[in-house]
Amino acid sequence: MYLTKEVKQEIFAKHGKSNTDTGSPEGQIALFSHRISHLTEHLKSNKKDYSTEHALVKLVGKRRSLLDYLKANDIERYRSIIKELNIRK
């Protein structure tokens, strides 16, 4: 699978408080962004894979709600994660 335990720990270590901090919004947003980019690449070559497309739309919605939560509660953390992950162009 493309998302191994080591990759997850690396993502959480880089964007969370530690590699075991799986609950922080920043870590979850980073994980969702990694999965979104992987699914986007998959859909470029498999245009008719509608179940993956549906999963991608759900993931984007989850990431959006976490970003909204972070924006409402701590605008500086929101701005830093947006800049780190280069979500906005």
Alpha-carbon Rg for the chain, nearest whole angstrom, is 14
Measuring CA to CA, how many Å separate 84 from each of 16, 67, 87? 12, 13, 8
Pick the CATH number of 5-85 from 1.10.10.10, 2.102.10.10, 3.40.50.300, 1.10.287.10: 1.10.287.10
pTM of the entire structure? 0.92
pLDDT digits (tens, 9 = 90+) for 20-37: 888 899 999 999 999 999
Sequence ranges of the domains in the chain: 5-85
pLDDT band of 16, cuts 50, 70, 90: confident
